[in-house]
Amino acid sequence: MSEVLLVEKLDGHIAKLTINRPDKLNALNAEVRGAIFRALDDLAGDDDVRVLVITGAGDKAFIAGADISEFKDARPVEQYRSMQRGSIYAAIQNFPKPVIAMINGFCLGGGCELAMSCDMRVASTRAKIGQPEINLGLIPGAGGTQRLPRLVGEGWAMRLIMSGELISGQKAAEIGLVEVAVEPEDLEAHVMELAGNIGARSPMALQAAKESIQAARRMPLDEGLRFERSWFALLFSTDDMAEGVDAFLEKRKAEFTGS
Ligand code: COA
């Protein structure tokens, strides 16, 4: 376990990753990115984990963006290659289990892009969220121009990216950048209840749901419907589906084993 990233396994098939550089507002440097890659790789193969929560250490920041000190003297070709080599954003999007961003404070630049790579987002009402790269003479480089308009529409994406303005968690919920904003003192309990609820489900069904919903972004409707139907039929091969149906008919709670 690297100390810039805390990895915890909690009851209810939940794993929690905490970016742990609170003195730098949890800015993402190469060490954190490497630790996230390794943790995702381990947790993807850990059958006991069915849902992942990502958050930031301390009460001030989720992630205040890429570590800007790494931009000083960075050259375009190396920058392009390092971003092409592998991205934590793609690794989160393609992680085979649901991922929830628990946004507890500043969620800026690469932090906002990381949150948008997650499957769900819950924010503290007092979080500050935005894409302030324009202040550095930059634009978002980890999906902000692509994922933000898909979530909030083109106008809000233009406004946030071009002005660098930060919005509250409350406002982010109003425009659809996060699904829910809750009072800071309720954030952890809200997210853990959601994660526990999801973690009690069949992991194969969760993966099928994630892949099928993501397919809606890139497939025309008829292709997406076919993709969904294939997953639906495939799930009839799982013990979990048999258990879910039996449990319903026997009026008891299903116990999913992941097989
Ligand atoms: N990269 C590197 N270091 C960062 C950082 C980042 N993205 N964001 C914050 N930090 C560091 C600060 O340099 C400071 O370090 P220091 O104590 O060694 O000087 C520490 O975190 C605390 O930040 P500070 O600026 O003192 O806190 P603040 O409450 O006054 O301001 C912010 C908070 C978030 C408004 C401000 O830190 C900020 O604008 N950060 C950059 C955000 C950004 O542009 N992100 C996108 C990058 S592409």
Average pLDDT of the segment spanning 90-107: 98
For residue 239, the CA-to-ligand 1 centroid distance in Å is 49
Nearest CA to 116 out of 62, 187, 80, 163 is that of 62
Contacts of 123 (CB under 8 A, 6+ apart): 103, 107, 129, 169, 172, 173, 178, 180, 181, 182, 187
Residue from 23, 25, 108, 168 to probe ligand 1 pocket by mutation (most atoms less than 8 Å from CB): 25
Nearest residue (by CA) to ligand 1, atom 38, is 64
pLDDT > 60? residue 2: no
Contacts of 85 (CB under 8 A, 6+ apart): none
Residue 186, SS3 per DSSP: helix
Average pLDDT of the segment spanning 54-66: 97
pLDDT > 80? residue 184: yes
Polymer length in residues for the chain: 259
Q: Is 70 a catalytic residue?
A: no
Picking from 51-60, 68-77, 147-156, 238-247, which range would have the lowest pLDDT averaged per residue? 68-77
Q: What is the per-residue pLDDT for 85?
A: 73
Would the CB of 69 count as within 6 Å of ligand 1?
yes
Nearest residue (by CA) to ligand 1, atom 30, is 25
Token readout for 169 is: 């968690």
Average pLDDT of the segment spanning 66-91: 89
Nearest CA to 169 out of 187, 161, 181 is that of 181
Mean pLDDT across the chain, nearest whole number?
A: 96
Q: What is the per-residue pLDDT for 255?
A: 96
Q: pLDDT tier at 257 (50, 70, 90 boundaries)?
A: very high
Would the CB of 53 count as within 6 Å of ligand 1?
no
Q: What is the per-residue pLDDT for 81?
A: 83
Q: Is 113 a catalytic residue?
A: yes
Q: What is the per-residue pLDDT for 147?
A: 98
pLDDT tens per residue across span 112-166: 999 999 999 999 999 999 999 999 999 999 999 999 999 999 999 999 999 999 9
Would the CB of 65 count as within 6 Å of ligand 1?
yes
pLDDT > 90? residue 86: no
Residue found under tokens 């390794």: 38
What is the pTM (predicted TM-score) of this model?
0.97
For residue 27, the CA-to-ligand 1 centroid distance in Å is 8
pLDDT tens per residue across span 4-54: 999 999 999 999 999 999 999 999 999 999 999 999 999 999 999 999 999
Would the CB of 24 count as within 6 Å of ligand 1?
yes
Would the CB of 133 count as within 6 Å of ligand 1?
yes
Which letter, b or e, does each residue of 219-237 get, where b requires 16 or more Cβ atoms within 10 Å of its Cβ? eeeeebeebbeebeeebee
pLDDT > 80? residue 250: yes
Catalytic pick among 133, 165, 185, 223: 133
Q: How far is CA 89 from CA 56, 134, 240, 254, in A?
A: 16, 20, 30, 33
Average pLDDT of the segment spanning 214-233: 97
In whole angstroms, what is the distance from residue 256 CA to residue 259 CA?
8
Q: How far is CA 34 from CA 27, 30, 40, 100, 137, in A?
A: 13, 6, 10, 20, 26
Q: What is the per-residue pLDDT for 79?
A: 85
Nearest residue (by CA) to ligand 1, atom 44, is 132
Angle at 198 between CA 117 and CA 110, to 5 degrees: 15
